[in-house]
Protein backbone atom coordinates (compact mmCIF):
# COMPACT_ATOMS: atom_id res chain seq x y z
CA UNK A 1 0.00 0.00 0.00
CA UNK A 2 1.12 3.55 -0.62
CA UNK A 3 1.05 6.52 1.70
CA UNK A 4 1.07 9.62 -0.47
CA UNK A 5 2.88 12.58 1.14
CA UNK A 6 3.67 16.07 -0.13
CA UNK A 7 6.95 15.11 -1.78
CA UNK A 8 7.37 11.37 -1.90
CA UNK A 9 5.75 7.95 -1.87
CA UNK A 10 6.52 5.72 1.08
CA UNK A 11 5.73 2.02 1.41
CA UNK A 12 4.12 0.81 4.59
CA UNK A 13 3.34 -2.70 5.68
CA UNK A 14 -0.14 -2.42 7.17
CA UNK A 15 -3.50 -1.34 5.83
CA UNK A 16 -3.59 2.06 7.53
CA UNK A 17 -3.11 5.76 6.97
CA UNK A 18 -4.03 5.66 3.27
CA UNK A 19 -5.63 8.87 1.96
CA UNK A 20 -9.33 8.14 1.98
CA UNK A 21 -10.34 10.17 -1.07
CA UNK A 22 -7.60 8.54 -3.15
CA UNK A 23 -8.01 5.04 -1.74
CA UNK A 24 -11.78 4.85 -1.78
CA UNK A 25 -13.05 7.03 -4.58
CA UNK A 26 -11.31 7.81 -7.84
CA UNK A 27 -13.89 10.52 -8.43
CA UNK A 28 -17.05 11.88 -6.91
CA UNK A 29 -20.16 10.50 -8.65
CA UNK A 30 -21.61 14.00 -8.75
CA UNK A 31 -20.55 17.48 -7.82
CA UNK A 32 -20.86 18.04 -4.08
CA UNK A 33 -22.89 21.15 -3.17
CA UNK A 34 -20.72 23.85 -1.60
CA UNK A 35 -22.11 24.74 1.85
CA UNK A 36 -21.00 28.38 1.51
CA UNK A 37 -22.05 29.09 -2.07
CA UNK A 38 -24.40 31.90 -1.01
CA UNK A 39 -22.02 33.97 1.14
CA UNK A 40 -19.46 36.60 0.20
CA UNK A 41 -15.96 35.23 -0.09
CA UNK A 42 -12.36 36.33 -0.16
CA UNK A 43 -9.98 34.20 -2.21
CA UNK A 44 -6.54 33.90 -0.60
CA UNK A 45 -3.86 32.99 -3.14
CA UNK A 46 -1.14 30.99 -1.39
CA UNK A 47 2.52 31.38 -2.38
CA UNK A 48 3.79 28.96 0.26
CA UNK A 49 3.61 31.29 3.25
CA UNK A 50 3.91 29.87 6.75
CA UNK A 51 1.08 32.22 7.76
CA UNK A 52 -1.43 31.28 5.05
CA UNK A 53 -3.85 29.56 7.42
CA UNK A 54 -3.51 32.43 9.87
CA UNK A 55 -4.49 34.99 7.22
CA UNK A 56 -7.57 32.95 6.35
CA UNK A 57 -8.52 32.63 9.99
CA UNK A 58 -8.16 36.39 10.55
CA UNK A 59 -10.48 37.08 7.62
CA UNK A 60 -13.03 34.64 8.99
CA UNK A 61 -12.72 36.17 12.46
CA UNK A 62 -13.90 39.38 10.78
CA UNK A 63 -17.04 37.44 9.71
CA UNK A 64 -16.08 37.08 6.05
CA UNK A 65 -15.61 33.67 4.43
CA UNK A 66 -12.10 33.05 3.09
CA UNK A 67 -11.00 30.24 0.78
CA UNK A 68 -7.37 29.34 0.09
CA UNK A 69 -6.19 28.45 -3.41
CA UNK A 70 -2.76 27.71 -4.86
CA UNK A 71 -0.97 30.34 -6.95
CA UNK A 72 -1.14 27.66 -9.68
CA UNK A 73 -4.92 27.98 -9.81
CA UNK A 74 -6.01 29.43 -13.18
CA UNK A 75 -7.52 32.90 -13.00
CA UNK A 76 -10.70 31.55 -14.58
CA UNK A 77 -11.21 29.21 -11.62
CA UNK A 78 -10.63 32.04 -9.16
CA UNK A 79 -13.20 34.19 -10.95
CA UNK A 80 -15.73 31.34 -10.92
CA UNK A 81 -15.73 31.63 -7.13
CA UNK A 82 -17.03 35.21 -7.50
CA UNK A 83 -14.75 36.70 -4.84
CA UNK A 84 -15.47 40.15 -3.45
CA UNK A 85 -11.73 40.50 -2.83
CA UNK A 86 -8.42 38.73 -3.40
CA UNK A 87 -5.50 38.47 -0.98
CA UNK A 88 -2.02 37.50 -2.15
CA UNK A 89 -0.10 35.77 0.64
CA UNK A 90 3.52 36.01 1.66
CA UNK A 91 6.02 33.35 0.69
CA UNK A 92 9.64 32.23 1.09
CA UNK A 93 10.78 33.09 -2.44
CA UNK A 94 12.10 36.32 -3.93
CA UNK A 95 10.28 37.72 -6.96
CA UNK A 96 13.74 38.19 -8.50
CA UNK A 97 14.42 34.45 -8.52
CA UNK A 98 14.22 32.77 -11.92
CA UNK A 99 11.77 30.17 -10.61
CA UNK A 100 9.78 32.51 -8.37
CA UNK A 101 6.03 31.82 -8.23
CA UNK A 102 3.96 34.30 -10.22
CA UNK A 103 0.33 34.88 -11.07
CA UNK A 104 -1.65 35.90 -14.12
CA UNK A 105 -1.20 39.72 -14.37
CA UNK A 106 -4.82 39.96 -15.50
CA UNK A 107 -5.84 39.42 -11.89
CA UNK A 108 -5.21 43.13 -11.35
CA UNK A 109 -7.54 44.12 -14.20
CA UNK A 110 -10.74 42.43 -13.03
CA UNK A 111 -12.04 45.31 -10.92
CA UNK A 112 -11.80 43.07 -7.84
CA UNK A 113 -10.00 44.59 -4.81
CA UNK A 114 -6.57 43.07 -4.19
CA UNK A 115 -4.43 43.07 -1.04
CA UNK A 116 -0.83 41.86 -1.30
CA UNK A 117 0.97 40.83 1.89
CA UNK A 118 4.80 40.70 2.03
CA UNK A 119 5.69 38.55 -1.01
CA UNK A 120 2.26 39.49 -2.36
CA UNK A 121 3.26 43.16 -2.20
CA UNK A 122 6.59 42.59 -3.92
CA UNK A 123 4.91 40.47 -6.59
CA UNK A 124 2.33 43.19 -7.18
CA UNK A 125 5.01 45.84 -7.57
CA UNK A 126 7.20 43.66 -9.79
CA UNK A 127 4.30 42.54 -12.01
CA UNK A 128 2.92 46.03 -12.52
CA UNK A 129 6.25 47.69 -13.40
CA UNK A 130 7.66 48.73 -10.03
CA UNK A 131 11.11 47.92 -8.66
CA UNK A 132 11.99 45.34 -6.02
CA UNK A 133 15.53 45.23 -4.63
CA UNK A 134 17.48 43.63 -1.82
CA UNK A 135 17.21 45.89 1.21
CA UNK A 136 20.35 47.54 2.52
CA UNK A 137 18.95 46.94 6.00
CA UNK A 138 16.77 43.87 6.45
CA UNK A 139 13.78 44.16 8.75
CA UNK A 140 12.72 41.31 11.01
CA UNK A 141 10.49 41.51 14.05
CA UNK A 142 8.63 44.46 15.55
CA UNK A 143 9.15 47.72 13.66
CA UNK A 144 7.52 51.14 14.29
CA UNK A 145 5.59 52.12 11.16
CA UNK A 146 4.04 55.48 10.22
CA UNK A 147 0.62 55.09 8.57
CA UNK A 148 -1.43 57.38 6.34
CA UNK A 149 -4.66 57.19 8.31
CA UNK A 150 -6.51 58.95 5.49
CA UNK A 151 -6.19 55.78 3.45
CA UNK A 152 -9.24 53.47 3.72
CA UNK A 153 -6.81 50.66 4.54
CA UNK A 154 -5.64 52.40 7.71
CA UNK A 155 -8.76 54.31 8.72
CA UNK A 156 -9.31 54.52 12.46
CA UNK A 157 -5.73 53.48 13.26
CA UNK A 158 -3.00 55.33 15.12
CA UNK A 159 -0.61 57.39 13.01
CA UNK A 160 2.22 55.19 14.25
CA UNK A 161 2.15 51.67 15.65
CA UNK A 162 4.28 48.56 15.70
CA UNK A 163 4.05 46.08 12.81
CA UNK A 164 5.73 42.70 12.31
CA UNK A 165 8.29 42.68 9.51
CA UNK A 166 10.03 39.69 7.94
CA UNK A 167 11.75 40.58 4.69
CA UNK A 168 15.10 40.82 2.93
CA UNK A 169 13.76 42.41 -0.28
CA UNK A 170 11.48 45.43 -0.52
CA UNK A 171 9.85 47.79 -3.00
CA UNK A 172 12.03 50.77 -3.90
CA UNK A 173 9.86 52.26 -6.69
CA UNK A 174 6.12 51.79 -6.84
CA UNK A 175 4.32 51.01 -10.11
CA UNK A 176 2.59 53.81 -11.98
CA UNK A 177 -0.57 54.92 -10.19
CA UNK A 178 0.64 53.73 -6.76
CA UNK A 179 1.73 55.83 -3.80
CA UNK A 180 3.29 55.00 -0.45
CA UNK A 181 0.76 54.93 2.39
CA UNK A 182 3.11 53.69 5.15
CA UNK A 183 6.83 53.85 5.84
CA UNK A 184 9.40 52.94 8.47
CA UNK A 185 12.91 54.19 9.14
CA UNK A 186 14.42 51.68 6.71
CA UNK A 187 11.54 51.09 4.28
CA UNK A 188 9.91 53.84 2.22
CA UNK A 189 7.15 51.48 1.03
CA UNK A 190 5.77 49.61 4.04
CA UNK A 191 2.48 49.84 2.18
CA UNK A 192 1.36 51.14 -1.21
CA UNK A 193 -1.98 51.77 -2.82
CA UNK A 194 -3.75 52.46 -6.09
CA UNK A 195 -7.16 53.55 -4.76
CA UNK A 196 -8.63 53.97 -8.25
CA UNK A 197 -8.07 50.28 -9.02
CA UNK A 198 -8.59 49.25 -5.36
CA UNK A 199 -5.21 47.55 -5.22
CA UNK A 200 -3.40 47.68 -1.88
CA UNK A 201 -0.26 46.02 -0.56
CA UNK A 202 1.60 45.87 2.75
CA UNK A 203 5.16 44.76 3.44
CA UNK A 204 4.40 43.80 7.05
CA UNK A 205 2.26 40.93 8.35
CA UNK A 206 -1.11 42.18 9.64
CA UNK A 207 -2.26 38.64 10.38
CA UNK A 208 0.13 38.07 13.33
CA UNK A 209 -0.65 39.32 16.80
CA UNK A 210 2.73 41.10 16.94
CA UNK A 211 1.30 43.71 14.55
CA UNK A 212 -0.54 45.96 17.02
CA UNK A 213 -3.38 46.94 14.71
CA UNK A 214 -3.05 44.15 12.17
CA UNK A 215 -6.62 42.90 12.52
CA UNK A 216 -7.82 46.46 11.91
CA UNK A 217 -5.91 46.49 8.61
CA UNK A 218 -7.59 43.26 7.52
CA UNK A 219 -11.03 44.48 8.61
CA UNK A 220 -10.50 47.79 6.77
CA UNK A 221 -9.65 45.94 3.57
CA UNK A 222 -12.73 43.75 3.93
CA UNK A 223 -15.24 46.44 4.81
CA UNK A 224 -13.81 49.75 3.52
CA UNK A 225 -12.33 48.43 0.28
CA UNK A 226 -14.26 45.26 -0.59
CA UNK A 227 -17.60 46.34 0.82
CA UNK A 228 -18.17 43.14 2.78
CA UNK A 229 -21.33 42.76 4.85
CA UNK A 230 -20.03 40.23 7.40
CA UNK A 231 -22.34 37.33 6.52
CA UNK A 232 -19.97 34.55 7.66
CA UNK A 233 -21.37 33.19 10.93
CA UNK A 234 -21.62 29.68 12.25
CA UNK A 235 -25.41 29.83 12.32
CA UNK A 236 -25.34 30.72 8.61
CA UNK A 237 -22.89 27.88 8.00
CA UNK A 238 -25.11 25.37 9.80
CA UNK A 239 -28.17 26.32 7.76
CA UNK A 240 -26.23 26.12 4.48
CA UNK A 241 -24.44 22.91 5.44
CA UNK A 242 -27.69 21.15 6.35
CA UNK A 243 -29.18 22.19 3.01
CA UNK A 244 -26.05 20.97 1.18
CA UNK A 245 -26.07 17.60 2.96
CA UNK A 246 -29.72 17.09 2.10
CA UNK A 247 -29.08 18.01 -1.52
CA UNK A 248 -26.09 15.69 -1.79
CA UNK A 249 -27.63 12.71 0.00
CA UNK A 250 -31.15 13.11 -1.36
CA UNK A 251 -34.45 12.27 0.36
CA UNK A 252 -33.65 8.59 0.90
CA UNK A 253 -29.84 8.36 0.96
CA UNK A 254 -28.10 6.72 3.90
CA UNK A 255 -24.70 7.69 5.34
CA UNK A 256 -22.08 5.85 7.39
CA UNK A 257 -19.58 7.73 9.55
CA UNK A 258 -16.62 6.50 11.58
CA UNK A 259 -17.13 8.16 14.97
CA UNK A 260 -14.00 8.50 17.08
CA UNK A 261 -15.47 10.64 19.85
CA UNK A 262 -13.15 13.49 18.85
CA UNK A 263 -14.33 17.02 18.12
CA UNK A 264 -14.31 16.78 14.32
CA UNK A 265 -16.12 13.49 13.85
CA UNK A 266 -18.58 14.26 16.66
CA UNK A 267 -19.56 17.66 15.24
CA UNK A 268 -19.80 16.15 11.75
CA UNK A 269 -22.10 13.46 13.13
CA UNK A 270 -24.28 16.03 14.92
CA UNK A 271 -24.55 18.15 11.78
CA UNK A 272 -25.43 15.22 9.54
CA UNK A 273 -27.92 14.02 12.15
CA UNK A 274 -29.65 17.41 12.01
CA UNK A 275 -29.83 17.06 8.23
CA UNK A 276 -30.99 13.46 7.77
CA UNK A 277 -31.68 12.08 11.24
CA UNK A 278 -31.52 8.31 11.66
CA UNK A 279 -30.49 7.78 8.06
CA UNK A 280 -26.99 8.30 9.50
CA UNK A 281 -25.22 5.27 10.96
CA UNK A 282 -22.24 6.00 13.20
CA UNK A 283 -19.73 3.26 13.92
CA UNK A 284 -17.74 3.81 17.09
CA UNK A 285 -14.90 1.36 17.65
CA UNK A 286 -13.94 1.13 21.33
CA UNK A 287 -10.36 -0.07 21.14
CA UNK A 288 -9.94 0.22 24.90
CA UNK A 289 -7.52 3.14 24.68
CA UNK A 290 -10.07 5.89 25.27
CA UNK A 291 -10.10 8.18 28.29
CA UNK A 292 -12.40 7.64 31.24
CA UNK A 293 -16.14 7.72 30.44
CA UNK A 294 -15.66 8.75 26.79
CA UNK A 295 -17.50 5.76 25.37
CA UNK A 296 -20.41 6.43 27.73
CA UNK A 297 -20.46 10.08 26.63
CA UNK A 298 -20.63 9.11 22.96
CA UNK A 299 -23.49 6.71 23.67
CA UNK A 300 -25.42 9.37 25.61
CA UNK A 301 -25.06 12.11 22.99
CA UNK A 302 -25.79 10.05 19.90
CA UNK A 303 -28.70 8.05 21.24
CA UNK A 304 -30.55 10.92 22.95
CA UNK A 305 -29.47 14.39 21.83
CA UNK A 306 -28.61 13.56 18.20
CA UNK A 307 -30.34 10.26 17.50
CA UNK A 308 -28.51 8.16 14.93
CA UNK A 309 -28.11 4.47 14.28
CA UNK A 310 -25.18 4.06 16.66
CA UNK A 311 -23.06 0.93 16.47
CA UNK A 312 -20.57 0.59 19.31
CA UNK A 313 -18.00 -2.11 18.65
CA UNK A 314 -16.43 -3.47 21.82
CA UNK A 315 -13.00 -4.39 20.49
CA UNK A 316 -11.02 -3.94 23.69
CA UNK A 317 -9.90 -7.55 24.01
CA UNK A 318 -9.17 -7.72 20.27
CA UNK A 319 -6.77 -4.75 20.43
CA UNK A 320 -5.08 -5.81 23.67
CA UNK A 321 -4.39 -9.24 22.17
CA UNK A 322 -3.03 -7.63 18.99
CA UNK A 323 -0.63 -5.42 20.95
CA UNK A 324 0.47 -7.96 23.55
CA UNK A 325 4.20 -7.57 24.17
CA UNK A 326 4.62 -4.72 21.66
CA UNK A 327 6.78 -1.85 22.95
CA UNK A 328 7.93 0.04 19.83
CA UNK A 329 5.86 3.24 19.42
CA UNK A 330 5.64 3.14 15.62
CA UNK A 331 4.66 -0.52 15.65
CA UNK A 332 1.90 0.31 18.14
CA UNK A 333 0.55 3.03 15.85
CA UNK A 334 0.58 0.82 12.77
CA UNK A 335 -1.03 -2.14 14.48
CA UNK A 336 -3.77 0.02 15.99
CA UNK A 337 -4.37 1.81 12.69
CA UNK A 338 -4.57 -1.45 10.77
CA UNK A 339 -6.85 -3.15 13.29
CA UNK A 340 -9.11 -0.10 13.31
CA UNK A 341 -9.57 -0.44 9.57
CA UNK A 342 -10.44 -4.12 9.87
CA UNK A 343 -12.98 -3.42 12.63
CA UNK A 344 -14.60 -0.63 10.65
CA UNK A 345 -14.67 -2.74 7.49
CA UNK A 346 -16.32 -5.63 9.33
CA UNK A 347 -19.16 -3.35 10.44
CA UNK A 348 -19.48 -1.69 7.02
CA UNK A 349 -20.04 -5.07 5.38
CA UNK A 350 -23.03 -5.67 7.66
CA UNK A 351 -24.86 -2.51 6.60
CA UNK A 352 -27.35 -2.58 3.76
CA UNK A 353 -28.36 0.36 1.61
CA UNK A 354 -25.65 2.78 2.78
CA UNK A 355 -24.46 4.81 -0.21
CA UNK A 356 -22.34 7.55 1.37
CA UNK A 357 -19.30 7.56 3.63
CA UNK A 358 -18.82 10.58 5.92
CA UNK A 359 -15.75 11.82 7.74
CA UNK A 360 -14.72 14.84 9.80
CA UNK A 361 -12.18 16.35 7.42
CA UNK A 362 -11.52 20.00 8.33
CA UNK A 363 -9.86 22.82 6.38
CA UNK A 364 -6.32 22.44 7.78
CA UNK A 365 -6.46 18.78 6.65
CA UNK A 366 -7.20 19.99 3.14
CA UNK A 367 -4.53 22.70 3.15
CA UNK A 368 -1.79 20.67 4.86
CA UNK A 369 -2.40 17.61 2.70
CA UNK A 370 -1.26 19.54 -0.34
CA UNK A 371 -4.56 19.91 -2.18
CA UNK A 372 -4.18 23.68 -2.06
CA UNK A 373 -0.59 23.37 -3.24
CA UNK A 374 -1.62 21.50 -6.33
CA UNK A 375 -1.89 17.94 -5.04
CA UNK A 376 -5.11 15.96 -4.71
CA UNK A 377 -4.16 14.27 -1.44
CA UNK A 378 -6.52 14.53 1.50
CA UNK A 379 -5.27 13.88 5.02
CA UNK A 380 -5.91 10.28 5.98
CA UNK A 381 -7.81 9.22 9.07
CA UNK A 382 -6.83 6.00 10.80
CA UNK A 383 -10.41 4.89 11.40
CA UNK A 384 -11.53 4.58 7.76
CA UNK A 385 -8.42 4.74 5.60
CA UNK A 386 -7.50 1.96 3.18
CA UNK A 387 -10.85 0.16 3.15
CA UNK A 388 -10.96 -3.12 1.21
CA UNK A 389 -12.27 -2.95 -2.36
CA UNK A 390 -15.53 -4.74 -1.57
CA UNK A 391 -16.27 -2.21 1.18
CA UNK A 392 -15.33 0.77 -0.98
CA UNK A 393 -17.75 -0.47 -3.61
CA UNK A 394 -20.63 -0.05 -1.17
CA UNK A 395 -20.30 3.74 -1.06
CA UNK A 396 -21.52 4.58 -4.53
CA UNK A 397 -22.59 8.07 -3.50
CA UNK A 398 -19.09 9.18 -2.44
CA UNK A 399 -17.90 11.24 0.49
CA UNK A 400 -19.83 13.54 2.79
CA UNK A 401 -17.47 16.05 4.44
CA UNK A 402 -19.58 18.84 5.93
CA UNK A 403 -16.70 20.44 7.88
CA UNK A 404 -14.01 20.45 5.20
CA UNK A 405 -14.13 24.26 4.86
CA UNK A 406 -13.84 24.98 8.62
CA UNK A 407 -10.91 25.61 10.93
CA UNK A 408 -10.83 23.86 14.32
CA UNK A 409 -12.05 26.91 16.25
CA UNK A 410 -14.98 27.20 13.83
CA UNK A 411 -15.80 23.50 14.28
CA UNK A 412 -16.02 24.09 18.03
CA UNK A 413 -18.33 27.08 17.44
CA UNK A 414 -20.58 24.90 15.30
CA UNK A 415 -20.68 22.37 18.13
CA UNK A 416 -21.70 25.11 20.54
CA UNK A 417 -24.38 26.37 18.13
CA UNK A 418 -25.73 22.82 17.98
CA UNK A 419 -25.79 22.71 21.82
CA UNK A 420 -23.41 19.77 22.02
CA UNK A 421 -21.94 18.94 25.46
CA UNK A 422 -19.16 21.30 26.53
CA UNK A 423 -16.73 18.44 27.27
CA UNK A 424 -17.17 17.02 23.78
CA UNK A 425 -16.88 20.36 21.96
CA UNK A 426 -13.79 21.44 23.88
CA UNK A 427 -12.18 18.02 23.94
CA UNK A 428 -8.42 18.36 23.77
CA UNK A 429 -6.40 16.98 20.88
CA UNK A 430 -6.26 13.24 21.40
CA UNK A 431 -4.09 10.89 19.32
CA UNK A 432 -5.76 8.20 17.25
CA UNK A 433 -3.98 5.40 19.13
CA UNK A 434 -5.25 7.00 22.33
CA UNK A 435 -3.77 6.04 25.67
CA UNK A 436 -1.70 3.32 24.00
CA UNK A 437 1.01 5.87 23.17
CA UNK A 438 0.81 7.40 26.63
CA UNK A 439 2.10 4.14 28.06
CA UNK A 440 5.80 3.65 27.56
CA UNK A 441 6.65 0.06 26.73
CA UNK A 442 4.18 -2.78 26.40
CA UNK A 443 0.47 -2.35 27.08
CA UNK A 444 -1.55 -4.27 29.64
CA UNK A 445 -5.04 -3.83 31.07
CA UNK A 446 -3.55 -2.77 34.42
CA UNK A 447 -1.36 -0.11 32.83
CA UNK A 448 -4.30 1.23 30.85
CA UNK A 449 -6.34 1.55 34.03
CA UNK A 450 -3.46 3.39 35.72
CA UNK A 451 -3.04 6.00 32.99
CA UNK A 452 -6.81 6.36 32.51
CA UNK A 453 -7.49 7.04 36.21
CA UNK A 454 -4.54 9.41 36.61
CA UNK A 455 -5.59 11.33 33.49
CA UNK A 456 -9.12 11.69 34.88
CA UNK A 457 -7.75 13.11 38.15
CA UNK A 458 -5.59 15.64 36.30
CA UNK A 459 -8.47 16.78 34.08
CA UNK A 460 -10.81 17.07 37.07
CA UNK A 461 -8.41 19.19 39.12
CA UNK A 462 -7.46 21.48 36.22
CA UNK A 463 -11.17 22.10 35.60
CA UNK A 464 -11.82 22.79 39.30
CA UNK A 465 -8.95 25.30 39.22
CA UNK A 466 -10.65 27.09 36.32
CA UNK A 467 -7.70 26.53 33.98
CA UNK A 468 -9.18 24.13 31.42
CA UNK A 469 -9.42 26.84 28.74
CA UNK A 470 -6.01 28.36 29.61
CA UNK A 471 -4.00 25.17 29.10
CA UNK A 472 -4.26 23.85 25.55
CA UNK A 473 -3.46 20.21 26.27
CA UNK A 474 -2.73 18.25 29.42
CA UNK A 475 -2.50 14.55 30.19
CA UNK A 476 -0.56 11.92 32.09
CA UNK A 477 2.04 9.48 30.80
CA UNK A 478 2.89 6.17 32.42
CA UNK A 479 6.64 5.80 32.08
CA UNK A 480 8.38 2.47 31.88
CA UNK A 481 10.53 3.36 34.89
CA UNK A 482 10.07 2.02 38.41
CA UNK A 483 11.50 3.69 41.50
CA UNK A 484 11.72 2.93 45.19
CA UNK A 485 9.19 4.58 47.46
CA UNK A 486 7.78 4.37 50.97
CA UNK A 487 4.04 4.07 51.50
CA UNK A 488 2.92 3.52 55.08
CA UNK A 489 5.44 1.21 56.71
CA UNK A 490 6.31 -0.58 53.50
CA UNK A 491 8.88 -0.02 50.82
CA UNK A 492 7.44 0.05 47.28
CA UNK A 493 8.89 -0.38 43.81
CA UNK A 494 6.32 1.16 41.45
CA UNK A 495 5.98 3.28 38.34
CA UNK A 496 6.93 6.90 37.74
CA UNK A 497 4.03 8.83 36.21
CA UNK A 498 4.61 12.08 34.28
CA UNK A 499 2.29 15.05 33.82
CA UNK A 500 2.43 16.93 30.50
CA UNK A 501 0.66 20.30 30.15
CA UNK A 502 1.34 22.78 27.35
CA UNK A 503 0.23 26.14 25.97
CA UNK A 504 0.32 27.01 22.28
CA UNK A 505 -1.40 28.93 19.50
CA UNK A 506 -0.89 26.41 16.72
CA UNK A 507 0.82 23.26 18.14
CA UNK A 508 3.74 23.90 15.78
CA UNK A 509 5.65 25.21 18.79
CA UNK A 510 4.57 24.79 22.41
CA UNK A 511 5.65 25.92 25.84
CA UNK A 512 5.14 23.99 29.04
CA UNK A 513 2.28 25.33 31.12
CA UNK A 514 3.17 27.06 34.40
CA UNK A 515 0.56 25.25 36.47
CA UNK A 516 0.29 26.55 40.05
CA UNK A 517 2.38 24.62 42.56
CA UNK A 518 -0.65 24.06 44.80
CA UNK A 519 -2.49 22.47 41.88
CA UNK A 520 0.44 20.21 41.03
CA UNK A 521 0.76 19.21 44.68
CA UNK A 522 -2.92 18.29 44.88
CA UNK A 523 -2.82 16.30 41.63
CA UNK A 524 0.33 14.46 42.72
CA UNK A 525 -1.12 13.58 46.12
CA UNK A 526 -4.38 12.31 44.61
CA UNK A 527 -2.64 10.19 41.99
CA UNK A 528 -0.29 8.52 44.46
CA UNK A 529 -3.13 7.92 46.93
CA UNK A 530 -5.87 6.86 44.50
CA UNK A 531 -4.12 5.19 41.57
CA UNK A 532 -2.49 1.78 42.07
CA UNK A 533 1.06 1.05 40.90
CA UNK A 534 2.30 4.68 41.04
CA UNK A 535 4.62 5.98 43.77
CA UNK A 536 6.21 9.00 42.07
CA UNK A 537 4.86 11.88 39.93
CA UNK A 538 7.07 14.17 37.79
CA UNK A 539 6.26 17.22 35.65
CA UNK A 540 7.51 17.57 32.06
CA UNK A 541 8.91 21.10 31.54
CA UNK A 542 10.22 20.65 27.99
CA UNK A 543 9.21 22.91 25.10
CA UNK A 544 8.52 21.90 21.49
CA UNK A 545 11.01 21.87 19.92
CA UNK A 546 13.10 20.02 21.02
CA UNK A 547 10.44 17.68 22.40
CA UNK A 548 7.05 16.82 20.92
CA UNK A 549 3.77 17.20 22.80
CA UNK A 550 3.19 13.45 23.05
CA UNK A 551 5.89 11.20 24.47
CA UNK A 552 5.52 8.59 21.72
Residues 6+ away with beta carbon under 8 Å from 195: 151, 152
- CA separation for the pair 118, 165 (Å, rounded): 8
CA 100 to chain centre: 28
Closest by Cα among 1, 5, 51, 40 to 23: 1
Q: Look up 118 and say whether it is catalytic.
A: yes
Catalytic residue (choose from 205, 287, 381, 382) = 205
Which residues share a beta bridge with 495?
A: 482, 534
Catalytic residue (choose from 207, 212, 339, 410) = 207
Catalytic residue (choose from 118, 190, 228, 343) = 118
Q: Taking every pair of C-alpha atoms in the chain, what is the biggest distance, in angstroms?
A: 87
Q: Look up 207 and say whether it is catalytic.
A: yes
- CA separation for the pair 496, 447 (Å, rounded): 12
- CA separation for the pair 319, 137 (Å, rounded): 60
- Residue 533 gets the label, from left (phi > 0), alpha (psi -120 to 50) or beta, of left
DSSP output for 17-62: S--HHHHH-SS-SSPPPPTTTTS-EEEEEESS-TTHHHHHHHHHHT
> What number of residues does the chain have?
552
Residues 6+ away with beta carbon under 8 Å from 270: 301, 305, 306, 415, 418, 420
Q: In 195-289, where does DSSP find H-type helix? A: 214-220, 234-249, 263-276
- CA separation for the pair 350, 370 (Å, rounded): 34
CB 484 within 8 A of CB 491: yes
Three-state DSSP state, 185: coil
Three-state DSSP state, 154: coil
Angle (CA) 78-81-86 rounded to 5° is 55
- CA separation for the pair 531, 537 (Å, rounded): 11
164-174: burial string, b at 16+ Cβ within 10 Å, e else: bbbbebbbeeb
Closest by Cα among 212, 165, 156 to 191: 165
Please list the active-site residues: 118, 205, 207
Amino acid sequence: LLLISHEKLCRIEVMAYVPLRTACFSSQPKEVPHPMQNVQRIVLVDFGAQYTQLIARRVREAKVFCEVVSYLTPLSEILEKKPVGIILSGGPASVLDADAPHIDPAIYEQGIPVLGICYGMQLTAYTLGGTVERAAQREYGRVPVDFDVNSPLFAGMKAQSVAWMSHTFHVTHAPEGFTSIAHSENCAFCAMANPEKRIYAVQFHPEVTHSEEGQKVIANFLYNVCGCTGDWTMSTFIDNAIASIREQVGPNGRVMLGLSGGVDSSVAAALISRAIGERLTCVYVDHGFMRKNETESVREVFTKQFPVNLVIVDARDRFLTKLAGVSDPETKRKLIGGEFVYCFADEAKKLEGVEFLAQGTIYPDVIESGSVKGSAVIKSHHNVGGLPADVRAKFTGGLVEPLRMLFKDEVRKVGEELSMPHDMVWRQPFPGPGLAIRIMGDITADKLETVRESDAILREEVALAGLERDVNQYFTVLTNTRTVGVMGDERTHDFVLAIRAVTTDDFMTVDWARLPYDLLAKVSARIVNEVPRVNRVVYDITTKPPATVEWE
